[in-house]
Amino acid sequence: MHGFLNLRKPRGITSHDAVDAVRVILGGNAGHGGTLDPIAEGVLPMGLGHATRFLGWLRHDKEYEALMRLGVTSDTLDVTGTLTGPGPVDSTPDQVRAAGATLVGEVNLPVPAYSAVHVGGKRLYESAREAAASGEDPAAPPVRPMRVFSIEVIEFATPQVRFRISCAGGTYVRSVIAEWGRLLGTGAVMERLVRTRAGSLSLEESVDLESLRRLAAAGRAAEGLVPAARALAHLPEAKLDDAAAARLLHGQSVPDPRRHAVPASAGSATAAPENPNVPVRLTIPGGRMIGIGRLDAGTLFPLRTLPPGESLP
């Protein structure tokens, strides 16, 4: 089976575990387009079969609903680690909102010590576990720029804060929470995290593993797939005739078809992407996708394509 899947990952398993489960259910290759921690649940974009070639072109902005607990700190920055506290929490709702507002924008924060970031040839969580086992202090995790688009406090019931956050890829909500707690002077850890959106894929439209099993058992697994036009809705579309498609699939360029390229936000079928180097979805009659191309100086070049005769819904 080839296509994109909007999987609802359950809490308590890794993203790799979720991929393995989908491989077993559908009996084919699969990969994910954005890691979720085991404690987290929600939207996990996946590519099946040939669609794994295009995971790098998915939108990387995310939205989450999170539960933060004030008055506690943790080596993992969440409730699964070694907790220190609890301590006093006397923050007011206004103080909580004001501190959160300072984290909107680009902020430089340490990545979690227990994360999959590579440093010195090792993942940080491997180094952290080795240090814990030997009684040594773990190495300081690197500081990286993270971009937060918005933070909205939904509910504050001491010591818990439920909030919604929209952010760019590479932003660790655990790191944002730890800094939020530091600003309040109370410390804070992540208690729950639900990814409600990844790019154009929403939680409401996701399919869980049990539903996918039922669809597969009934021979209807294709009903769980997300059309490429939905998963890659942010990319303009280059509609190709059969001759142009054949040339691109064999690594050749074709004249600029931008009179047929439609930005996702445009309503006109003759609109063209403003950026001449923007990637475009290559589609054939019927709307099926055969690859990703690049428009440059009046010519369309293939970037990554499917084998001749193959296409994605």
- 45-77: per-residue pLDDT in tens? 999 999 999 999 999 999 999 999 999 999 999
- Classify residue 207: in a domain, yes or no: yes
Do both 87 and 178 map to the same domain?
A: yes
Do both 109 and 156 map to the same domain?
A: yes
- Classify residue 208: in a domain, yes or no: yes
- Classify residue 194: in a domain, yes or no: no
Do both 173 and 98 map to the same domain?
A: yes
The pLDDT value given to residue 274? 46
71: CATH? 3.30.2350.10
Do both 241 and 290 map to the same domain?
A: yes
Tell me the pLDDT of the chain averaged across its residues.
90
Do both 153 and 166 map to the same domain?
A: yes
- Classify residue 310: in a domain, yes or no: no
298: CATH? 2.30.130.10
| Residues of the domain holding 295 | 235-305
Do both 73 and 39 map to the same domain?
A: no
- Classify residue 244: in a domain, yes or no: yes
- 90-100: per-residue pLDDT in tens? 999 999 999 99
- Classify residue 311: in a domain, yes or no: no
pLDDT band for position 132 (50/70/90)?
A: confident
d(CA 195, CA 230): 18
Is the predicted pLDDT of residue 193 greater than 90, yes or no? yes
- Classify residue 53: in a domain, yes or no: yes
Q: pTM for the full model?
A: 0.89
Do both 126 and 148 map to the same domain?
A: yes
- 259-277: per-residue pLDDT in tens? 544 444 433 333 444 466 6
Last residue of one domain, picked from the residues 227, 244, 273: 227
Question: Which of these, 35, 40, 44, 8, lies nearest to 192 by C-alpha position?
Answer: 40
Is the predicted pLDDT of residue 118 greater than 70, yes or no? no
State the total domains in the chain.
Answer: 3
Do both 91 and 182 map to the same domain?
A: yes
Do both 239 and 263 map to the same domain?
A: yes
- Classify residue 7: in a domain, yes or no: yes
Instruction: Give the gyration radius of the chain's Cα atoms.
Output: 22
Whether 37 is catalytic is yes
Catalytic residue chosen out of the listed positions 37, 78, 242, 256? 37
What does the DSSP assignment read for 155-224? EEETTEEEEEEEE-TT--HHHHHHHHHHHHTS-EEEEEEEEEEETTEEGGG-B-HHHHHHHHHTT-GGGG
Do both 255 and 277 map to the same domain?
A: yes
Who's near 307: CB < 8 A, 6+ residues apart? Answer: 50, 249
